[in-house]
Amino acid sequence: MIPHFLIKYGVANSPIDVGEYLVKCPSCECDEWADIMIVGNYYFFSFLLIFPCGKEANVICKKCGCKRYGAAFDSKLISNYEEVKKYYKHPWFTYLGVALAAFPFVVVIIYQLIVQVFN
Ligand SMILES: [Zn+2]
């Protein structure tokens, strides 16, 4: 019997970082400063994070206090999104599942290359 917790899978989320940006507040209907928490979503299987599957933003308007959870983290939310997105990358270990799955194939490819070079 495999214990149930070992075959658990689904989508988990984990905060990446927080920031302060000018966003379009749906309540104030203009650009206002807001506290933003960027949250990463990850597929997981058992204890292993397999790969990232998106980002969300939790936004709190500093002027009116309007809160939005699960807003899309894109250029519609933050005007200088292209500049700031590099600060909110998924942590490297969230790709560990993909790396482990790819590892045997990488080993085989490297082995084949070595065999070809030395023959
Ligand atoms: Zn507001």
- Rounded to the nearest angstrom, the distance between the alpha carbon of 16 and the centre of ligand 1 is 23
| Residue indicated by tokens 């969230």 | 94
67 Cα–ligand 1 center, Å: 8
Residue from 76, 75, 85, 80 nearest 38 by CA: 85
11 and 54 Cβ atoms separated by less than 8 Å: no
Paired tokens of 116: 């070809």
What pairs with residue 37 in β-bridges?
Answer: 18, 58
Task: Please give the average pLDDT of every successive group of 10 residues along the chain, which has 119 residues.
Answer: 72 92 87 93 87 93 93 87 91 88 94 91
Strand 30-45: give its sheet, edge to edge.
9-25, 30-45, 48-61, 67-72
pLDDT value for 4? 65
Tell me the CA–centroid distance for residue 18 and ligand 1, in Å. 18
